[in-house]
Chains A and B, each alone.
Chain A
Amino acid sequence: MKKLLSAVLATALIVSMLSGCAGASADTAATQSNASDTSAVSSDSSDQASTGAATFKIGGIGPITGGAAVYGLAVMNAAQIAIDEINAAGGINGYQVEYNFQDDELDNEKSVNAYNTLKDWGMQILMGTVTSGCCVAVASETAKDNMFQITPSGSAVDCIANPNVFQVCFTDPNQGIAAADYIADNGVASKVAVIYDSSDVYSSGIYAKFAEEATAKGLEIVSAEAFTADNKTDFSVQLQKAQENGAELVFLPIYYTEASLILSQADKMGYATKFFGCDGLDGILGVENFDASLAEGVMLLTPFAADATDDATKAFVAEYNKRFGENPNQFAADAYDAVYTIKAILEAGNVDPSMSVSDICEKCKSGMTSVSIDGLTGLGMTWSADGAVNKAPKAMEIKGGEYKLIQ
Chain B
Amino acid sequence: MKKIKMSKHLKDNLTTFSIVTVAFIIVEILKATGHISSLMKGLLVPVCIYIICAIALNLCVGILGELSLGHAGFMCIGAFSGAFFSKCTQDVITFAPLRFTLAIIIGALFAALFGFLIGIPVLRLKGDYLAIVTLAFGEIIKNVINVLYVGKDTDGFRLSLKDTVSLHLSGEGKIIINGAQGITGTPNDSSFEVGFVLILITLIIVLNLINSRDGRAIMSIRDNTIAAESIGINITGYKLMAFTISAGLAGIAGVLYAHNLNSLMAQPKNFGYNMSITILLFVVLGGIGNIRGSVIAAVVLTLLPELLRGLADYRMLIYAIVLIVLMIFNWSPKILELRKKYSIKGLIGAKKAGEVK
Contact = CB atoms under 8 A, between A and B. Distances in A.
Contacts of A10: 345
Contacts of A201: 180-181, 265
Given A20-B300, A208-B165, A105 B269 contact: yes
A41 B311 CA distance: 8
Nearest to B163: A208
A15 B307 contact: no
Contacts of B310: 30, 33-34, 37-38, 41
Contacts of A226: 147
B343 interface: yes
B297 A113 contact: no
A140 to B, nearest CB: 3
Contact of A16 (B143, B300, B307): B300
A7 B268 contact: no
Contact of A11 (B139, B313, B343): B343
Contacts of B37: 27-28, 31-32, 116, 120
Contacts of A109: 46, 257, 260-261, 270
Interface in A1-60: 1, 3-4, 7-17, 19-20, 23-24, 26-28, 30-34, 37-38, 41-42
B39 A117 contact: yes
Given A41-B312, A65-B315, A133-B263, A11 B180 contact: no
B345 A7 contact: yes
B353 A4 contact: yes
B332 to A, nearest CB: 11
B254 interface: no
Contacts of B182: 133
Contact of B346 (A7, A113, A120): A7
B269 A107 contact: yes
B128 interface: no
B349 interface: yes
| A120, A133, A201, A203: most-surrounded residue (chain B CB, <10 A) | A133
A158 B181 contact: yes
| B37, B180, B307: most-surrounded residue (chain A CB, <10 A) | B180
Nearest to A64: B313
Nearest to A1: B357
Contacts of A199: 143, 146, 180, 267-268
Given A64-B313, A109-B261, A230 B268 contact: yes
Given A11-B340, A34-B310, A112 B357 contact: no
A33 B37 CA distance: 12
B36 interface: yes
A90 to B, nearest CB: 27
A276 to B, nearest CB: 19
Contact of A65 (B180, B316, B329): B316
A376 to B, nearest CB: 26
Given A7-B349, A112-B42, A16 B293 contact: yes
B236 interface: no
B181 A119 contact: no
A30 B306 CA distance: 10
Interface residues of B, number: 68
A24 B296 CA distance: 11
A136 interface: yes
A10 B179 CA distance: 47
Interface in B266-292: 267-270, 272, 285-287, 290, 292
A357 to B, nearest CB: 12
A368 interface: no
Contact of B41 (A23, A102, A116, A133): A116
Contacts of B307: 23, 26-27, 30-31
A156 interface: yes
Given A16-B300, A136-B262, A158-B184, A107 B267 contact: yes
Interface in A69-111: 102-103, 105-110
Contact of A137 (B261, B269, B303): B261
Contacts of A65: 313, 315-316
B270 A12 contact: no
Contacts of B38: 116-117, 119-120
B145 to A, nearest CB: 10
B13 interface: no
Given A140-B261, A228-B143, 8 more contacts: A7-B345, A8-B340, A11-B343, A24-B299, A41-B310, A102-B309, A117-B39, A158-B181
Interface of A: 1, 3-4, 7-17, 19-20, 23-24, 26-28, 30-34, 37-38, 41-42, 64-66, 102-103, 105-110, 112-117, 119-120, 133, 136-137, 139-141, 156, 158, 161, 197-201, 203-205, 207-208, 211-212, 226, 228-230
Which 8 A-B residue pairings sit nearest by Cβ, starting from the closest? A140-B262, A37-B310, A116-B42, A136-B263, A116-B38, A116-B39, A119-B38, A107-B269
Interface of B: 35-43, 46, 139, 143, 146-147, 163-165, 179-182, 184-185, 188, 257, 260-263, 265, 267-270, 272, 285-287, 290, 292-293, 296-297, 299-300, 303-304, 306-307, 309-313, 315-316, 329-330, 336, 339-340, 343, 345-346, 349, 353, 356-357
10 contacts: A7-B345, A13-B296, A34-B310, A41-B312, A66-B269, A105-B269, A105-B316, A108-B267, A133-B182, A228-B146
